[in-house]
Amino acid sequence: MKTSYKYLMLVAAMGLTACQQDAEQKEVNSADDKVVVEKKVEVKADTQKDVKKKVVQRVDEHSYGNIDEVNLHHFDLELTVNFEAKALEGFVDLSFKRLKDGVSELVLDTRDITIDKAQQWVNDSWQDTSFELAKKDPDLGSKLSIDLNDSSNKVRVYYKTQPQASGLQWLTPEQTAGKKHPFVYSQAQAIHARSFIPIQDSPAVRVTYTANLKTPKELLALMSAFNEPDTELDGDYHFEMPQAIPPYLIALGVGNLEFKAMSDRTGVYAEPSLLDPAVAEFDDTERMVQVTEEMYGPYRWGRYDLLILPPSFPYGGMENPRLSFITPTVIAGDKSLVNLIAHELAHSWSGNLVTNATWEDFWLNEGFTSYVENRIMEELFGEERATMERALSVQGLHEEVKALPKEFTILNVDLNGRDPDDAFSGVPYTKGQMFLTYLEKKFGRDVFDAFLVKYFNAHAFQSLTTTEFKKYLKANLLDKHPGVVSMDEIDTWIHEPMLPEMMPNPTSDAFTTVDAETKAWLADQKTLADLGSSEWTVHEWLHFINNLPEDLSLEHMTQLDSEFKLTDSTNNEIAHAWLLLSLKAGYDEVMPRLETYLVSIGRRKLIVPLYKALMETEDGAAFAKRVYKVARPGYHPLAQGTIDEVVK
């Protein structure tokens, strides 16, 4: 096996002796994958702590790409969307610059892609070149090495995706709202872009792109690129993405989609029956863009549109640039769940503009975004709602942390040897958000806002590691205001497990009132009719349900349901909270509703806790297995993977 280029990069950076290099080299040559190589280097670096922090964290253990040798900066994609074969078929031209002399190969990430041919651009023509597709690693996929001659700077790869591509979901017409047309969409984060494009699939890479997609004539294709609002349906679509983005933000969606504008630069794409409800729900989007610009500087991506996906979309939203992908489960009819739009929009600053360099730095994307999301909500809907949303998140975090492996409660998590999807949790989101809220409170909002604007500008269209962030924070905030927050405190937030005592604890007066009312009801001092609940917002309802005792009597559960019709709630968050409580309290009246819920929604956050709760009892497990059999074919591969583990 060849020596890992990353190994050499690390050795050079760490200044190991020739003898040490030799010893390491032997181990590397016998190792069969690069993760082992990096583990080895990390052990070695333990004796040089500062070097370890500086160097090892720059390594992206989730990519085979030779990014220190070849800088991939642009691609042109030509694909046919073949619904019968559940495949994308065509080729990609990858343009790159060499960073060193003597580079003889371009190393890419792939997963479950069939490679038909590789060519390189030499002397003004395409010439075949040899390539090697390595054995598949279960987490990372297959390394693709393409031989380069001395001068080429463009490679063409002919390929097709396979039906099980982890980054694509192919839906039959029956799985869509309209039931007449098929649908396909991508979800590339964290390391799934490689299942539909051979690429250096690391968030440290940034590429511009163009694409031509051929689809059935009656369908519309969209990408995370410029989407012309009045595109004609003709099955032949061209896209340009002039801003350089990391590969996990490459996205496509194809279906029976229509467009409605919400402002000059914002609009919604959705299946026809969902279009008007979505526009009504999300018509504050333009205001959201404006207030974010006022706080954090210009929106740098041109248009900001939303694509409403089928309910099987495994996440709430995905921040694909210029075109956020959105679950329909947040179309509640009362704008109660639109913080999700604030969140995806906030990524246009934190995540898409300033990006985590590796998946171990994921909290840099999500902590900042959750903080900015809440600031947008405060601007649009007031302090009380923003506080309630923070309080709900923090309570959820406390619950989640109890069940997580301790190492996953660290912001700068160690993902060595792990699939990033397996470490996914609310920690990078809410613990990260609370860290920034802590800094805001310590330094004051004006100072902290100025720091954030500077941070976004200084790192625009770049990726950075946690170590680089800490250095920037120290120089630009801590050292400028000495004695306010120490580096030890910063390290506790970023590198220690669990939740620090200094974590802010958002308290809402409205929630305090709900708590008092609940107490009075449980003590038989008030009836449900006297609770004042007719004035409650969705957030108060969520707080109420989430804080009821898990062993609430069946009599109390029945009273609640007959008074408030909670089993029939059409708000998916309230329904989720109520169904979960019902499972814990043994309130079986909900089972038919639970079955419908689990079969009709594929968003992991809403269904995984329900499957987990079901698996706690024998009857529940039998129910879970029966329902999952029906629901599974409609779920996204990511949700299938998670729930397969739960419902073993």
Instruction: Give the residue numbers marked as catalytic.
Output: 344, 429
State whether residue 104 is helix, strand or coil: coil
Which position among 605, 625, 637, 647 is part of the footprint of ligand LTRB2CHR (CB under 6 A)?
605
Question: Interface with ligand LTRB2CHR includes 206 (CB under 6 A)?
Answer: no
Shortest distance in whole angstroms from residue 535 CB to ligand LTRB2CHR: 27
Question: Interface with ligand LTRB2CHR includes 315 (CB under 6 A)?
Answer: yes
Question: Interface with ligand LTRB2CHR includes 442 (CB under 6 A)?
Answer: no
State whether residue 464 is helix, strand or coil: strand
Report the distance separating Cα 416 and Cα 430, nearest Å.
Answer: 23
Report the distance separating Cα 347 and Cα 266, nearest Å.
Answer: 16
Beta-bridge mates of residue 266:
304
- Contacts for 280 with CB less than 8 Å, ≥ 6 apart: none
The DSSP secondary-structure symbol of 481 reads S
The DSSP secondary-structure symbol of 132 reads E
Which position among 92, 397, 413, 490 is part of the footprint of ligand LTRB2CHR (CB under 6 A)?
413
The token duo for 479 is: 């050292």
Indicate the residue among 274 and 423 with the shorter CB distance to ligand LTRB2CHR. 423
Indicate the residue among 557 and 579 with the shorter CB distance to ligand LTRB2CHR. 579
Which position among 166, 387, 425, 508 is part of the footprint of ligand LTRB2CHR (CB under 6 A)?
425
Question: Interface with ligand LTRB2CHR includes 428 (CB under 6 A)?
Answer: yes
Question: Interface with ligand LTRB2CHR includes 288 (CB under 6 A)?
Answer: no
Residue 413 binds which entry of Zn ion, ligand LTRB2CHR, none, CB below 5-8 Å type-dependent: ligand LTRB2CHR
Residue 474 binds which entry of Zn ion, ligand LTRB2CHR, none, CB below 5-8 Å type-dependent: none
Shortest distance in whole angstroms from residue 347 CB to Zn ion: 6
Indicate the residue among 90 and 316 with the shorter CB distance to ligand LTRB2CHR. 316
Interface residues toward Zn ion, by CB under 5 A: 366, 369
Q: By CB under 6 A, how many residues form the interface with ligand LTRB2CHR?
A: 18
Question: Interface with ligand LTRB2CHR includes 253 (CB under 6 A)?
Answer: no
Indicate the residue among 362 and 536 with the shorter CB distance to Zn ion. 362
φ/ψ (deg, to 5) at 75: -140, 155
Stretch 144-183: interaction string toward ligand LTRB2CHR, x if CB under 6 A: ----------------------------------------
Shortest distance in whole angstroms from residue 369 CB to Zn ion: 5
Q: Is the peptide bond before 190 cis (omega within 30 degrees of 0)?
A: yes
Q: Which stretch binds ligand LTRB2CHR (CB under 6 A): 127-135, 413-421, 434-442, 614-622?
A: 413-421
Shortest distance in whole angstroms from residue 48 CB to ligand LTRB2CHR: 26
Residue 495 binds which entry of ligand LTRB2CHR, Zn ion, none, CB below 5-8 Å type-dependent: none
Identify whether the C-beta of residue 213 lies closer than 8 Å to the C-beta of residue 79: yes
Residue 391 binds which entry of ligand LTRB2CHR, Zn ion, none, CB below 5-8 Å type-dependent: none
Identify whether the C-beta of residue 327 lies closer than 8 Å to the C-beta of residue 603: yes
Indicate the residue among 38 and 93 with the shorter CB distance to ligand LTRB2CHR. 38
Q: Which stretch binds ligand LTRB2CHR (CB under 6 A): 31-39, 250-258, 313-321, 610-618?
A: 313-321
Residue 427 binds which entry of Zn ion, ligand LTRB2CHR, none, CB below 5-8 Å type-dependent: ligand LTRB2CHR
Which position among 90, 198, 247, 316 is part of the footprint of ligand LTRB2CHR (CB under 6 A)?
316
- Paired sense of beta strands 70-82 and 207-214, if any: parallel
Shortest distance in whole angstroms from residue 415 CB to ligand LTRB2CHR: 6
Shortest distance in whole angstroms from residue 508 CB to ligand LTRB2CHR: 21
Residue in the shown chain whose Cβ atom is closest to ligand LTRB2CHR: 316
Question: Interface with ligand LTRB2CHR includes 219 (CB under 6 A)?
Answer: no
- Residue 156's Cβ-side half-sphere holds a number of Cα atoms within 13 Å equal to 14
State whether residue 470 is helix, strand or coil: helix
Report the distance separating Cα 207 and Cα 223, nearest Å.
Answer: 14
Indicate the residue among 129 and 369 with the shorter CB distance to Zn ion. 369
Q: Which stretch binds ligand LTRB2CHR (CB under 6 A): 130-138, 161-169, 415-423, 542-550?
A: 415-423
Identify whether the C-beta of residue 257 lies closer than 8 Å to the C-beta of residue 271: yes
Tell me the CA distances in angstroms from 499 to 408, 492, 506, 539, 641, one per residue in order.
12, 9, 14, 24, 28
Report the distance separating Cα 141 and Cα 139, nearest Å.
Answer: 6
- Paired sense of beta strands 323-326 and 304-308, if any: parallel
Indicate the residue among 361 and 366 with the shorter CB distance to Zn ion. 366
Applying the rule CB under 6 A, the residues between 357 and 376 that interact with ligand LTRB2CHR are: 359, 362
Indicate the residue among 237 and 363 with the shorter CB distance to ligand LTRB2CHR. 363
CB burial class (10 A; 0-12, 13-18, 19+) of residue 641? Answer: middle
Beta-bridge mates of residue 198:
none
Q: Which stretch binds ligand LTRB2CHR (CB under 6 A): 129-137, 235-243, 281-289, 416-424?
A: 416-424
CB atoms within 10 A of CB 2: 9
Helical H segments across 382-409, by residue range: 383-403
Tell me the CA distances in angstroms from 619 to 219, 241, 550, 591, one per residue in order.
44, 52, 18, 11
Q: Exposure pattern of 453-478 as b/e (b: 16+ CB <10 Å)?
A: eebbeebeeebbbbbbbbebbeeebb
List strand residue ranges (DSSP E) for 224-369, in order: 236-245, 252-255, 258-261, 266-270, 304-308, 317-318, 323-326, 354-356
Shortest distance in whole angstroms from residue 352 CB to ligand LTRB2CHR: 13
Q: Which stretch binds ligand LTRB2CHR (CB under 6 A): 315-323, 445-453, 466-474, 518-526?
A: 315-323
Q: At residue 277, what is the residue type?
A: P
Report the distance separating Cα 60 and Cα 35, nearest Å.
Answer: 10
Among the listed residues 394, 375, 499, 525, the one whose alpha carbon sits nearest the alpha carbon of residue 440: 375
Applying the rule CB under 6 A, the residues between 183 and 202 that interact with ligand LTRB2CHR are: 189-190
Tell me the CA distances in angstroms from 636 to 140, 247, 513, 646, one per residue in order.
19, 20, 40, 15
Report the distance separating Cα 578 and Cα 43, nearest Å.
Answer: 48
- Judged by the rule CB under 6 A, the positions of this chain that interact with ligand LTRB2CHR are 189-190, 315-316, 318, 359, 362, 408, 413, 420-421, 423-425, 427-428, 603, 605
